[in-house]
A and B are shown apart, each in its own frame.
Chain A
Amino acid sequence: MRVTQNLNQTQFLTALNTLESNLSQTQNQVATNLSFTTPSQNPVAAGAVNNYNQALAQSKQYDTNANSAQTRLGTEDSALSQVQSALQSLRDLALQANSGTVSSQNRSSIAAQATQIQSSLVSLANAQDGNGEYIFGGYSTQTQPFALNATGASYSGDLGQRQVQIAAGQSIPDGDSGATVFNQIKTGNGTFTATAGVANTGSGVVGANSVSNAAAYDGGTYAINFTAANTYEVRDSSNVLVTSGSYTDGQAISFRGVQVTLSGQPATGDTFSVAPSTNQSIFTTVQNLVTALQASSSTVGANTQLSNSVNVALNNIDQALNQTSNVRADIGGRLNAITTQLSVSSSQQIQLQSSISSLQSLDYASATTKLSEENVTLSAAMQAYTLTQNLSLFKYL
């Protein structure tokens, strides 16, 4: 084949161009530490890196969400731990008031302390997080949820419970509605409430009461009526006789799966009622206690009434303590879930990072080898060119 000088020249220039562009690309790869800088260099990896980057950013966002929930739940938990100790002090005060040896002066001082505790409870229930949002307002986080009133406290929040997404498909609440925490507390023992009639004249006091057979209790309302000082009968809401018996101080009266213990000496005509538990706010409970403590109690009947009221309050405070513990346990569970998720996501992120890096990062060993190979090729091509360019018959003419 005839080879002309012109062709030689053109081909050398084309080759030079290709070699220099390859060298420049490898050089760029080494300088950026990227195995590809445009999608065309590795289309599939480019798309995959994009997906991994998205997953990585999302995982980091989940961490941000989890941290924000962690902070908010921490604030809620510390508020609730203070609520618990306030309720505990309230309980101690109620027990103290119920000891029977307390003078009316002391009682009013106890009442004053209880009032004090109530206002601190309200301020805890109105706790705000770092963003100034009310923790216990449900969704209405910019409205102060609780305000004291004559019967306890009004609630302006709602039942909403905000969720935070901490992982794909996993959301946790970052708080609890004030209605759940403070308002929806079952009265009595959680199933029913036993209360003494307001018109009672005897010294009968409602003591421990419980459900002995949950299946047998139908949730109805019953009245325990004393037909004589030591005889009682139990009637349901339709005034149908359920049972009757003779009364012994401190011995439980059992019917329809419930047990009610009365102590003291009820008078003829005294009644006690058993009614299903209803929801009562902790503030109403405290308010009722304060009202009872403030009432004068010089008579036997008034003393009995005070004892009954304090007993009811103690029951309700215990329910509130239960509720608070439950909520705190729940918060603990959520915080655990967050911690677990944070560690899962941290290993997930390491995994994603390494996937991205395996696709996108440059293999320096092979890249530098390639770089020197290309370097050698280029200089060889240049040398070959200068050698062949020297060849010309005209030099010998």
Chain B
Amino acid sequence: MSDVFGISVSALQAFQSAISVTSNNIANANTPGYARESIDLTSAAPQANGVLSVGNGVVVNGISRTFSQATANQLNASQSSLGQLTALQSYSSQIDNLVGTTAGGLSTAVQGFYSAWSDVANSPTSTATRQALLGKAQSVASTFQSTSSQLDALNTDINSRITSDVQQINTLGASISTLNKQIIVSTAQSGGQVPNDLIDQRDQLVSNLSKLTGITTTTDSNGSLNVFVGNGQPLVLQGNTTTLTTVPNQFDASQLEVSTSTSSGNVISSQITSGDLGGLLAARSQVVNPAKNQLGQIATAFTETVNSQQNAGLDLTGKLGTNLFSVGAPLATASSKNTGGATATVSVASVGALTANDYVLSYKGGAYSLTNAADGSAVSFSGSGTSASPLTADGLSIVLSATPASGDQFLIQPTAQAAGSISSVITDPSQIAAAGAVQTSPASANTGTSTISSGTVVNAANANLLTTATIQFTTPTTYSINGAGSYTYAAGGNITQNGWQVQISGVPAAGDSFTVQSNAGATGDNRNALLGASQQTLPVLGNGTISVNGAVSALVTGIGSQAQQINTAQTAQTAVNSQAVSNQQSVSGVNLDEEAAKLLQWQQAYQAAAKALQIGSSLFQSLLTAVQSA
């Protein structure tokens, strides 16, 4: 008879536990990381009773988590990808908005500048149109600067987010290792019973970590979890953690890199390709810096073309024009790890060949090598790096102050600082070079029918450009210049001297002469202003295939396409992630209706067990009564 009581009590206890487990599930229905639990019941070992074997009640074996490591891993990986794309998307959409459909007003400003040149050409002596041109020049420069400084601000923001991500990763790593220790102790104390709540917490921390950076995990036999970042750099090994730090980039101290130690030799930035941190690093190298370089490329080409035209003309005072814009030269930064003291100086040799790439110049084993900084591909170059024979590649000319030590590296950034440093340097409207540099005239005594063109400048740097020169026909078919030489006359052919070029056509007579001289005083001349205005459509970039404004349009399209692509990828990954969340929830999440049903189930079972106890008790009572009455 006693077994009825024993069995009923074991059932009451088991069902009470089951109700507790269900209540706990309900209580944690909204707890992040909670995996629903279920009670493991088995029947107790039977008691041999002669030939019969009667069961001995129910035993609670344990409380287990409903958890699938595979779906958890899937979710973590998907969260890492989503984190990366979300961070990337936040910057690409900022640049998308910043650039807008007019490249941050750049296309409007550039257009206004060229229109102002046209206005100067229409009325070259007017101070008002010249002043307007200076105003437009100022506005082009400030548009470049403000766009560039907004990009710089994004880089600053990226740095601070990298720092905070690294801090969070370290905190999570430390918490995981602490939990590892607690889990080992707790498992040992409870005789092998796994502490579900601690494991839930640990899994939640791992999940949070996966949002910050891509991770891989392994579980040791003692239940502790090891976490690796990058290409297998250990972050947590049982109870030990590695602390990540941020160190300045070896070339550019303003850009932070992630390292496994304070030494810059252990930079693992390139290995971190997912999670928020991976997204930040990608945003910097794929979105912000390229945009800044492209903007700088446009600024450099714009400055170069405007200045060279300005140098080829005369201003109102009759002097050759000085530069209208100044722009920062390409940067060449020695690595902080260099052992030699050599410095590199880079200048732009050909604007047309200039790219928006950054380069790494390395010196090893007595030879230079030049690679694209973004993808490491080799860039062909010529020269030996001395001032007599500079290294030339992609429109750049690189001169080293001395032979670098073997292993030394330099980062070459041809256009990174151009957009931020462009400024308009002329303030006096009379310094606008609207007039052509030279003027030509036939001698009044000429008897031939030949005429001379007005003259163009082919080399503004020629020191004798403005020196008066005379072209004298010694015979109708030969001429001398300044009394020297004897050249054969070809009607309409180019005659080039002192940096200018003229054409004489028609039939000259012997003794005819033409004078080419400085155009000083010809304040109404607009030839140079016309050329200035016509540069709007002059293809200067991309080896003479793209105009400045064309490059601005290409920048808009490029940034737009990139942002669109990232948006699409982010949207797709959001869907993938939501699928992973629902898979994981489907396994481990708490369904309240299910719990309600279980609650009823356990309640009824409990009531039944109680009834069994009551019946057992009444059976015993019946027996006692029978014995007493007998």
Contacts and interface: CB of A to CB of B under 8 A. Distances in A.
Interface of A: 1-7, 10-11, 14, 36-44, 46-51, 53-54, 57-58, 61-62, 64-65, 68-69, 131-134, 137-143, 158-165, 168, 171, 174, 276, 279, 360, 391-394, 397
B564 A41 contact: yes
A249 to B, nearest CB: 34
Given A4-B590, A6-B589, A279-B444, A140 B102 contact: no
Nearest to A67: B122
B582 A54 contact: no
Contact of B563 (A4, A40, A163, A397): A40
Contacts of A5: 29, 590-592
A133 B599 CA distance: 101
Contacts of A142: 125, 523-524
Contacts of B587: 2
A160 B439 contact: yes
Contacts of B115: 57-58, 61, 64
Given A47-B557, A57-B115, A38 B563 contact: yes
A73 to B, nearest CB: 12
Contact of A43 (B561, B582, B594): B561
Given A46-B101, A49-B101, A138 B524 contact: yes
Contacts of A141: 124-125, 523-524
Nearest to A15: B578
B591 A2 contact: yes
Contacts of A42: 560
Contacts of A39: 96, 99-101, 556-557, 559-561, 563
Contact of B121 (A43, A164, A276, A360): A164
A4 B530 contact: no
A397 to B, nearest CB: 6
Given A38-B96, A142-B125, A160-B439, A7 B582 contact: yes
Contacts, number: 215
A54 B553 CA distance: 10
Interface string B501-526: 00000000000000000010111111
A394 B100 CA distance: 53
B557 A46 contact: yes
A50 B107 contact: yes
Interface stretch (B251-259, B346-354, B531-539): B531-539
B378 interface: no
Contacts of A162: 124, 524-527
B556 A47 contact: yes
B586 interface: yes
B30 interface: yes
A275 B139 CA distance: 62
B423 interface: no
Nearest 10 Cβ contacts at the A-B interface: A141-B524, A39-B560, A139-B522, A43-B560, A47-B557, A4-B589, A40-B563, A139-B525, A393-B596, A50-B553
A366 B11 CA distance: 67
Contacts of A163: 526-527, 530
B439 A392 contact: no
Contacts of A138: 522, 524
Nearest to B452: A159
Most B CB within 10 A of own CB, among A14, A47, A132: A47
B549 A54 contact: yes
Contacts of B534: 165
B194 interface: no
Given A50-B553, A53-B107, A393-B592, A43 B564 contact: yes
A165 B530 contact: yes
A57 B111 contact: yes
Contacts of A3: 582, 585-586, 591
B54 interface: no
A319 B563 CA distance: 71
Contacts of A168: 537
A160 B454 contact: yes
Contact of B29 (A6, A131, A132): A6
B482 interface: no
B301 interface: no
B231 to A, nearest CB: 33
B154 to A, nearest CB: 16
A311 B533 CA distance: 51
13 contacts: A46-B560, A53-B111, A58-B115, A61-B115, A61-B118, A65-B121, A132-B125, A140-B521, A141-B524, A142-B125, A163-B527, A165-B530, A393-B597
A260 B266 CA distance: 104
B123 interface: yes
Contacts of B96: 38-40
Nearest to B597: A393
B441 interface: yes
Contact of A131 (B125, B533, B549, B597): B125
Contacts of A69: 122
A50 B107 CA distance: 7
A164 B524 contact: no
Interface string B589-612: 111111011011000000000000
A64 B524 contact: no
B525 A160 contact: yes
Interface string B96-124: 11011111000110010011001101111
B435 interface: yes
Contacts of A40: 92-93, 96, 559-564, 567
B419 interface: no
B444 A37 contact: no
A3 B552 CA distance: 51
A7 B581 CA distance: 8
Nearest to B557: A47
Contacts of B119: 64
A397 B557 CA distance: 61
B100 A38 contact: yes
Nearest to B66: A2
B590 A159 contact: no
Given A41-B560, A54-B549, 13 more contacts: A2-B589, A3-B582, A10-B581, A14-B574, A40-B561, A40-B564, A47-B560, A139-B436, A139-B525, A162-B524, A162-B525, A165-B530, A279-B444
